[in-house]
């Protein structure tokens, strides 16, 4: 299978990392809209317009599947992308909802903290999906400051601890924590330290792998997929971060 992975910038590499670990695809085409990131502070119409441009970009590659690694795009533009794409399109929000539900099983009253960009949280996409499955103890929280910190490669330390304090001081410890943004897996160790190891972390990359394995029939493993990375601006930076995060 040949897959396209779309993100607003470099963050979607955290999803590519999970795809590589599970060796699902023969060819991976990554497109990050680095010229216009962040999407998480933009409005719905702009996010949809950008997402449809990405669909057009991917038409050059005869793909079997597009994975929308960006939570913000998955929350707002998935239907429009599906209507315009010439292949299947899957998004990380639906996958994250199902992964949370599978992990918590029948514990419908488990407390779930949902983190994301402002746009993702305002869309209520995770809340709607989880409520439909019977989970009602939900706390959505926009934590946009984590995005630039991760872009600055700050994954631990004082500044991050100060932002945890800023966002989480009045919250009770959740049973599950949804990392509803491509950047947040990079600070998952710091979040696990803050909340304690018994808080279950839901990671978009792992969630999409679980979703794909359930919905598609993978018969082969590809330990060395062909990969191409595209960025709408500063491709050198995408390359540098890809080499680092993906350990290429």
- Least distance CB 26 / ligand DGL (angstroms): 25
Q: Which residue is nearest to ligand DGL (CB)?
A: 40
Does 39 participate in binding ligand DGL (rule CB under 6 A)?
Answer: yes
Q: Determine, following the binding rule CB under 6 A, whether residue 18 of this chain makes contact with ligand DGL.
A: no
Task: Compute φ and ψ for 28, nearest 5 degrees.
Answer: -125, 125
Rg (CA), the chain: 17
Residue 19, helix vs strand vs coil: helix
Measure the CA–CA gap between 156 and 162, rounded to whole angstroms.
10
Q: Rounded to the nearest whole angstrom, what is the least distance from the CB of residue 41 to ligand DGL in the complex?
A: 7
Minimum CB separation of residue 27 from ligand DGL in Å reads 22
Sole window of 4-12, 95-103, 135-143, 224-232 interacting with ligand DGL (rule: CB under 6 A): 4-12
Applying CB under 6 A, among 66, 142, 160, 181 the residue interacting with ligand DGL is 181
The SS3 call for residue 27 is: strand
Tell me how far apart the alpha carbons of residues 204 and 180 are, in angstroms, rounded to a whole number.
7
Dist. CA 124–CA 194, nearest whole Å: 25
Binding residue (CB under 6 A) for ligand DGL from 101, 120, 143, 232: 120
Stretch that binds ligand DGL, among 76-84, 163-171, 178-186, 235-243 (CB under 6 A): 178-186
Q: Is 181 among the catalytic positions?
A: yes
Tell which one of 14, 18, 71, 163 touches ligand DGL (CB under 6 A): 71
Give the separation between CA 70 and CA 76, rounded to whole angstroms.
10
Shortest distance, CB of residue 222 to ligand DGL, whole angstroms? 25
Question: Counting contacts by CB under 6 A, is residue 146 touching ligand DGL?
Answer: no
181: DSSP letter: S
Based on the residue annotation, tell me whether 87 is a catalytic residue of this protein. no
- Identify any residues that bridge with 142 across adjacent strands, giving them in sequence order: 116
Nearest distance in Å: CB 23, ligand DGL: 24
Distance CA 179, CA 204 (A): 7
| Closest by CA position to 111, among listed 163, 50, 177, 161 | 177
- Region near ligand DGL per CB under 6 A, out of 35-43, 51-59, 127-135, 164-172: 35-43
Does the footprint of ligand DGL cover residue 182 (CB under 6 A)?
A: yes
Number of H helices, E strands in the chain: 12, 9
Among 1, 8, 67, 76, binds ligand DGL (CB under 6 A): 8
Exactly one of 181, 187, 231, 238 is catalytic; which is it?
A: 181
Helices 13-22 & 204-215 angle (0-180, nearest 10): 50
Q: How far apart are CA 118 and CA 99, in angstroms?
A: 22
* Binding site residues, ligand DGL, CB under 6 A: 7-9, 11, 37-40, 70-72, 117, 120, 147, 181-183
Residues with catalytic function? 70, 181
């Amino acid at each position: 299978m040949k897959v396209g992975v779309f993100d607003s910038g470099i963050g979607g590499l955290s999803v590519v990392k999970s795809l590589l670990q599970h060796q699902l695809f023969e060819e991976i085409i990554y497109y990050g809209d680095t010229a216009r990131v962040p999407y998480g502070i933009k409005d719905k119409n702009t996010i949809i317009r950008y997402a449809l441009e990405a669909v057009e970009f991917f038409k050059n590659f005869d793909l079997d599947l597009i994975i929308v690694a960006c939570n913000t795009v998955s929350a707002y533009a998935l239907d429009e992308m599906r209507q315009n794409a010439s292949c299947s399109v899957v998004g990380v929000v639906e996958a994250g909802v199902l992964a949370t539900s599978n992990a918590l099983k029948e514990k419908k009253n488990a407390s779930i903290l949902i983190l994301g960009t402002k746009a993702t949280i305002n869309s209520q996409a995770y809340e709607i999906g989880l409520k439909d499955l019977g989970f009602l103890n939900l706390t959505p929280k926009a934590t946009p400051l984590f995005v630039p910190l991760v872009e600055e490669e700050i994954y631990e330390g004082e500044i991050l601890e100060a932002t945890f304090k800023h966002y989480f001081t009045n919250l009770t410890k959740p049973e599950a924590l949804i990392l509803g943004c491509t950047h947040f897996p990079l600070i998952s160790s710091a979040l696990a330290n803050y909340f304690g190891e018994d808080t279950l972390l839901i990671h978009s990359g792992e969630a999409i792998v679980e979703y794909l394995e359930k919905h598609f029939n993978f018969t082969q493993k590809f330990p060395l997929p062909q990969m191409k990375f595209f960025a709408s601006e500063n491709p050198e930076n995408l390359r540098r971060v890809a080499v680092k995060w993906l350990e290429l």
